[in-house]
């Protein structure tokens, strides 16, 4: 089924449900069988397109595929972190990370981890979506660019989360997860100031902004 091909007139919800059940019955795909995994991915996308077009034909509203999240801890605040999930991908868009009450905080270490937990996933609930680390000892790749950090010049008071893209995560029913499957999303931030003897670490739990 092509990207722009319309569904046939005789397509029904029963036929889509049958296709879903047939895909669900496939249990012999090993993690190392990359070609088969991509074929399954394409099948999920075709079923998703058929369902979307049938819903449109029947006047059923589209499901929300993107939400914005925010949250704070004792030291940090994260705003407008966007997560988009559909059968084709799991994608995040940059939000802001800011240190409460600070315009400047010079550090020699800064590390961010982003996690999303899903229900009913074979590979475990918690998925690390990305992490990045800023330190004078080595350059790092952030948002596709090499970032060099010079000693005494790393201001971590305001940063941006990374843009990420990954293939769909499947649940135990062999179907791509959706926003409804998200149990929680959170960040782990670890940092060390120029005068700090040890690094600090906090977890920031995020909640949906209602979007």
Residues 48, 151 within the same domain = no
Task: Identify whether residues 133 and 192 lie together within a single domain.
Answer: yes
Tell me: do 39 and 23 sit in the same domain: yes
**Domain boundary, last residue among 58, 75, 94:** 58
Closest CA to 71 of 204, 189, 176: 204
Domain co-membership, 49 together with 99: no
Same domain, 54 and 122: no
Task: Please tell me whether residues 80 and 163 are part of one structural domain.
Answer: yes
Q: Does position 69 have pLDDT exceeding 80, yes or no?
A: yes
Q: Considering only CA atoms, which of 94, 80, 76 is closest in space to residue 158?
A: 76
Coil vs helix vs strand at 31: coil
Residues 19 and 92 in one domain: no
Tell me if 150 is assigned to some domain.
yes
d(C-alpha 181, C-alpha 117), whole Å: 8
4 belongs to a structural domain: no
Q: What angle do CA 27, 2, 166 make, to 5 degrees?
A: 55
Calculate the CA 211 to chain-centre distance: 16
Top mean-pLDDT range of 32-36, 81-85, 185-189: 185-189
Count of Cβ atoms closer than 10 Å to residue 83 Cβ: 23
d(CA 185, CA 84): 13
Treating both helix axes as pointing N-terminal to C-terminal, what angle do 34-58 and 13-24 enclose, rounded to 10 degrees? Answer: 160
Answer yes or no: are the C-beta atoms of 71 and 186 closer than 8 Å.
Answer: yes
pTM for the whole structure: 0.69
The phi, psi pair for 66, rounded to 5°, reads -140, 135
Name the nearest CA neighbour of 99 among 8, 208, 200.
Answer: 200
Overall average pLDDT of the 80-86 stretch:
88
Other beta carbons within 10 angstroms of residue 194's beta carbon come to 12
**Domain identity same for 46 and 79:** no
Question: Any bridge partners for residue 47, and if so which?
Answer: none
- The count of domains in the chain is 2
The predicted pLDDT at position 29 comes to: 47
Residues 183 and 84 in one domain: yes
Torsion of CA 136, 140, 146, 147, to 10 degrees: -40
**Residue 114, in any domain of the structure:** yes
Residue 27 lies in a domain: yes
For residues 55 and 62, is the Cβ–Cβ distance under 8 A?
yes
Quick one: pLDDT band at residue 177, thresholds 50, 70, 90? confident
Residue 7 lies in a domain: no
pLDDT in tens, 87-121: 777 888 888 999 999 999 999 889 999 999 888 77
Domain of 168 in residue numbering reads as 66-206
Which CATH number fits the domain that encloses residue 183? 2.60.40
């Amino acid at each position: 089924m092509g990207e722009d091909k319309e569904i046939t007139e005789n397509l029904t919800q029963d036929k889509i449900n049958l296709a879903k059940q047939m895909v669900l019955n496939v249990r012999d795909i090993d993690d190392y069988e990359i070609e088969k995994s991509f074929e399954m991915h394409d099948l999920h996308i075709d079923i998703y397109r058929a369902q979307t077009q049938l819903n449109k034909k029947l006047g059923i509203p589209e499901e929300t595929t993107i939400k914005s999240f925010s949250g704070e801890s004792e030291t940090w605040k994260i705003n407008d972190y966007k997560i988009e999930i559909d059968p084709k991908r799991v994608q995040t868009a940059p939000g802001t990370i800011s240190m409460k009450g600070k315009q400047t905080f010079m550090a020699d270490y800064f590390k961010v981890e982003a996690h999303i937990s899903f229900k009913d996933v074979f590979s475990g609930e918690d998925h690390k979506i990305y992490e990045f680390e800023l330190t004078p000892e080595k350059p790092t790749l952030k948002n596709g660019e090499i970032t060099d950090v010079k000693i005494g010049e790393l201001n971590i008071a305001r940063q941006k989360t990374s843009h990420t893209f990954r293939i769909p995560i499947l649940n135990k029913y062999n179907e791509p997860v959706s926003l409804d499957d998200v149990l929680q999303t959170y960040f782990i931030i670890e940092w060390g100031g120029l005068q700090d003897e040890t690094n600090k670490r906090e977890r920031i739990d995020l909640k949906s902004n209602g979007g």
